[in-house]
Structure 1
Amino acid sequence: MSMPLSKLEKFFYIDKLVIHSLDLALYQVSVLVDGEEHFVTDDKGKFLRAHSILDLQKQCRNLKAKKQVLRQQSAYDEMVGQSSKDGTNELEVPLRDNQLY
């Protein structure tokens, strides 16, 4: 499910802003609102992506998120022949928008 950034900027609060690490230097944004995760899009419906975390924080600076995290999924367990315990190998690291942009 996706939601445009312009609509999200009108919300009073967003539970969590998640910056997904997709590849070496490619990031994408989603938000958690009322227990549901939505990917953030621009007004044309294109997913918000950037090659820098700071770029995404700048684009999302008007969102009132209670928490910000960087989420990374790893395929390491599969690569070494182990099965993951809960079906996902996910790491979330807290972030803070220091307005370095």
Structure 2
Amino acid sequence: MTAHLSDADRRRLARSGPIPLSTAEGMALFDAALAAEEPVLAPGRFDMAALREGAADGTLPPLLRGLVRGPRRSAGRGGDDGTPLARRLAVLGRRRA
């Protein structure tokens, strides 16, 4: 399917996350997809770092966005101004008293 792609095309494809499959890998994944009970299965390999980078810079195709988790958030992290959550909550509690 990709034998006609130039080196530039392959580099562009690699930046978006998919990893090329050999014919044998592609056929094995296709056979696995046919045997699966899920109605919408698209087997493939992906460069997760490239997917995360695409998600971060907004270039990840919409079809692939569900494969990448957003940045981790912690309840103990500070707000936009760097104030820890516990301190921000304590201030709110004092306002009600």
TM value normalised by structure 1: 0.22
Q: Which has a greater percent of helix?
A: 2
Q: Which has a greater percent of strand?
A: 1
Find the structure with the greater CA-based Rg.
2
- Which has the higher relative contact order, 1 or 2, with Cα contacts under 8 A spaced 6 or more apart? 1
TM value normalised by structure 2: 0.22
